[in-house]
Structure 1
Amino acid sequence: MIQDDTAAESAAERGAELSGGLDPVQLLTDTLTGMAAGFIERLPQIGLAILVLIITAIVSGLIGRAAGAGLEKARLRPALVTLFKNLTGIFVWVAGIAIAIVIVFPSVTPGQMVAALGLGSLAVGFAFKDVFENFLAGILILFRKEMRIGDFIECEDVLGKVESVTIRETHIRQPDGQLVIVPNAMLFTNPVWVRTDRKTRRAELVVGVDYDASLPAAADALNKALESCESISKSEGTEVKCIAFGGSSIDFKLLWWAGSSNKDQRASFDEVAFAVKRELDAADIGIPFPQVTLSQREPMALDTPDNLRKIEEG
């Protein structure tokens, strides 16, 4: 508690009286009387400080509504609008409380308050480092245009649809329906794959054909399969390329573009797989399964009596 010069003199007088052997009850009575007198003397200042706080509350509400209306016209995200409204209110309240403290305690200077706020903010910053890190990351994420509500993203081991973005955390709904609450710092400091940034996304399928099949005929059948699929974006184009001579097949890679959502990707893959099988069957081209061929350096005669006896004996 900060005391003015009068209070300091009263304390000195009480100390002198105590050293002279004053009765403790009388000392307590004098102390309470002095405090009551000091409180009564400060009543006008306290009343003015309360009035300042009431005005601060009114001004904070008016400025918050005005700032919110202006930011909504700028088509910012709702969470970002709420953030700016809260920050505006905090600044107004800090100014109002500082004025009220100066009114009640005239000996307090603005420099002392700034120093106290600096030390306090430093201590709070060390104590809540992770909270402030997520807070700042949330502000920066809210300014991003590339990651919107409803986008399907992948970050580290998290994969799902963005349901909401706040100033501290992001809610992501996984394909299996589970909700994952991710700290914003994780999304800001790690690579994020936004799979629905565009309306379409490329898909691929590797198909193997028999070694005795005609490669041009196989490529024509695979191209025909892609052309027959309605889920494929015709404007993006398709590709069918031979990529490898496998252990039991010649492999082709099919590339096409379909809707970027997971649902559209699954539906398109399913349609392409059915079309590929249908066209290859129509062209009498087989899709082989893995096979193993065994060879021997020297031919083995199986019709000699010794070999027949060994076979019978097992």
Structure 2
Amino acid sequence: MTTDFHHVLLAYWEQFLFVLPKLLIALVLLTVGLFVAGRLSALLSHRLHRRSADPLLADFLTQISKWVLSLIALLVALNVLGFTGVVGSLLGAAGVSAFIVGFAFKDIAENFLAGVILAFNRPFRIDDTVQIKDLVGHVVALNLRTTLIHTFDGKHIFLPNSMVLKEPLTNYTRDGELRMDFLLTVELGETVMPDVVKTLIVRYLQSVPEVQTGLKAPYVNLEKAAATTADLRVYFWSDAGDYRRGVLQLKSRLMQDVKQELVGAGFSVPALAG
């Protein structure tokens, strides 16, 4: 029995020595291939970022190119080892489908395809402020599987690309300008008309540099009128480049300033809401 065990070990050793040169060549080719894939993808990234105005698409194409080149290096290494049949099946449509479903799982394939659609459809760009469900934040990156969102409270949220593609997405900064509004209640007394207060508010808003004028001039609507009070909805347009600081803080400041302007004109503002 010891002799048979010795013969088995010897047979395995001889097979190992026979495969060893091919294994070493395959490892060298795989290492070189991965190195070349990294260098070529870095070169492609540099050129795409220099020529493209959309860094989101450039980053995504760079990631795809790196994965494709790495896969080619792996296929060459498998071919050197004699796994020609495996390489052929992977290159076939059925083989690729089985490879994706069997080894990468369905959700990864789904998120990858969703990422491709998002990269070319481009519903957002880097640093755009978006809302997906109840999440609001800046777009940081689009990866092969996830979209990275940086929320205003400092959290990094990795959302599956398939969810980003399927859910309604609100982009607050895509057009560069955004309309905001707030509601205030003004005590008019029995003789003052709401139009007088509306004129005062619009005149003040037009003096604020951050508020758009012209075709997108500020305006005020009367929403409710009682015997001595009026509920007025104030609308204004502003630059949406920085949603948190440029829009939300401007709205907060205007709410306070409009109230002070009316108080200075002799009116009372008992209620103010965003």
Identity, in percent, stands at: 16
Matched, 1:105 2:82: yes
Matched, 1:265 2:251: yes
Matches within 5 A, 1:255-294: 255-260=235-240, 261-279=247-265, 281=266
1:242 to 206, 222, 234: 222
In 1, Cα distance between equivalents of 2:253 and 2:24? 71
Tell me the equivalent position of 2:243.
none
1:159 to 113, 121, 136: 136
2:179 to 185, 196, 202: 202
In 1, Cα distance between equivalents of 2:260 and 2:102? 64
Matched, 1:193 2:173: no
In 1, Cα distance between equivalents of 2:230 and 2:86? 84
2:40 to 63, 82, 91: 63
Q: 1:54 to 1:255 in 2, by over 3 A?
A: closer
Tell me the equivalent position of 1:32.
9
Aligned-pair Cα RMSD in Å: 3.5
In 1, Cα distance between equivalents of 2:234 and 2:130? 24
Q: CA deviation at 1:117?
A: 5.4
Tell me the equivalent position of 2:50.
73
Is the contact between residue 125 and residue 139 of structure 2 (CA under 8 Å) also seen in structure 1? no
Q: What SS does the aligned partner of 1:214 have? A: coil
Which entry has the higher C-alpha Rg, 1 or 2? 1
For 1:165, the aligned partner's letter is A
Matched, 1:172 2:150: yes
Q: Cα deviations across residues 58-113 of structure 1 (Å, max 9, x unaligned)?
A: 53244323322332223365565444334323323333333333333377464345
Q: What SS does the aligned partner of 1:150 have? A: coil
Is the contact between residue 130 and residue 169 of structure 2 (CA under 8 Å) also seen in structure 1? yes
For 2:191, the aligned partner's letter is A
Is the contact between residue 152 and residue 159 of structure 1 (CA under 8 Å) also seen in structure 2? yes
Q: What SS does the aligned partner of 2:41 have? A: helix
Matched, 1:251 2:231: yes
Is the contact between residue 187 and residue 270 of structure 2 (CA under 8 Å) also seen in structure 1? yes
Q: What SS does the aligned partner of 1:148 have? A: coil
Q: 1:180 to 1:278 in 2, by over 3 A?
A: farther
Q: Cα deviations across residues 3-61 of structure 1 (Å, max 9, x unaligned)?
A: xxxxxxxxxxxxxxxxxxxxx22222222222233333444444443443344245324
Tell me the equivalent position of 2:98.
119
Query: Mind listing any 5+ residue stretches in structure 2 that lack a counterpart?
Result: 241-246
Tell me the equivalent position of 1:297.
none
Is the contact between residue 135 and residue 151 of structure 2 (CA under 8 Å) also seen in structure 1? no
For 2:68, the aligned partner's letter is F
Q: CA deviation at 1:145?
A: 4.9
Higher RCO (C-alpha under 8 Å, 6+ residues apart): 2
Q: CA deviation at 1:274?
A: 1.9
Q: What SS does the aligned partner of 1:149 have? A: coil
Instruction: Name whichever structure is richer in strand by fraction.
Output: 2
TM-score scaled by length of structure 1: 0.65
Tell me the equivalent position of 1:307.
none
TM-score scaled by length of structure 2: 0.73
In 2, Cα distance between equivalents of 1:199 and 1:108? 55
Q: CA deviation at 1:134?
A: 4.1
Q: What SS does the aligned partner of 1:232 have? A: coil
Q: 1:89 to 1:237 in 2, by over 3 A?
A: closer
Is the contact between residue 258 and residue 268 of structure 1 (CA under 8 Å) also seen in structure 2? no
Q: 1:37 to 1:81 in 2, by over 3 A?
A: same
For 1:170, the aligned partner's letter is L
